[in-house]
């Protein structure tokens, strides 16, 4: 299924595994935090691209020592009212200097894409109603920012008054 990554629609090369599924040969895989913690040595030794899915009730600090080993971190939005993944993305980008893919998964809504993008998400697992045009419009429609974020946009309070 396609995803939006770095502002383009791309085919998703990642396979999301449940905890009881066998690792496929040579595939880029996304595993749960629980599976990562229990099979970390084997996953690292596999030389495959590895991603970890972090649920909103889990802490990214549980992977802080392993961030450099991960090619992708998927942060889950279980409901539009749960914003913990925004903070997690900012922490990954700003404090841990994570350069890999941060993917928004779960309840990823059009109205939140701009904020997700500003917080450091660069990939979005969205439903078919969010086309590339819808994505680009959503990300560009807010001109003035009021908070600092992980992007390079200056917040309104830092702009010179004319």
CATH number of residue 21's parent domain = 3.20.20.70
Domain that holds residue 154: 2-158
User: What is the count of structural domains for the chain?
Assistant: 1
Give the model's pLDDT for residue 118: 84
pLDDT value of residue 150: 56
pLDDT of residue 146: 47
Name residues of the chain where pLDDT drops below 50.
Answer: 146, 156-157, 162
The pLDDT value recorded for residue 154 is 54
Write down the pLDDT at residue 152. 60
Looking at residue 156, its pLDDT comes to 45
Output the pLDDT for position 147. Answer: 56
SS3 for the chain is CEEEECCEEEECCEEECCCCCCCCCCCEEEEEHHHHHHHHHHHHHCCCCEEEEECCCCCHHHHCCCHHHCCEEEEEECCCCCCHHHHHHHHHHHHCCCCCEEEEEECCCHHHHHHHHHHCCCEECCCCCCCHHHHHHHHHCCCCECCCCCCCCCEHHHCCCC
pTM (two decimals): 0.84
* Predicted pLDDT at 90: 92
- What is the model's pLDDT at position 15? 94
């Amino acid at each position: 299924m396609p995803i939006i990554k770095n502002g383009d629609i791309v085919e998703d090369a990642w396979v999301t595994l449940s905890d009881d599924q066998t690792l496929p040969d040579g595939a880029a895989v996304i595993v749960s935090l629980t599976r990562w913690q229990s099979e970390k040595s084997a996953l690292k030794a596999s030389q495959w691209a590895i991603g970890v899915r972090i649920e909103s009730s889990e802490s990214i600090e549980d992977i802080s020592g392993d961030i450099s080993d991960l090619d992708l971190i998927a942060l889950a939005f279980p409901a539009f009212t749960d914003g913990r993944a925004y903070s997690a993305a900012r922490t990954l980008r700003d404090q841990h200097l994570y350069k890999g893919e941060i993917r928004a998964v779960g309840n990823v809504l059009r109205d939140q894409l701009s904020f997700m993008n500003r917080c450091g998400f660069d990939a979005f697992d969205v439903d078919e109603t969010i086309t590339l045009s819808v994505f680009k419009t959503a990300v560009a429609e807010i001109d003035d920012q009021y908070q600092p974020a992980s992007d390079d946009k200056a917040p309104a309070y830092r702009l010179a008054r004319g």
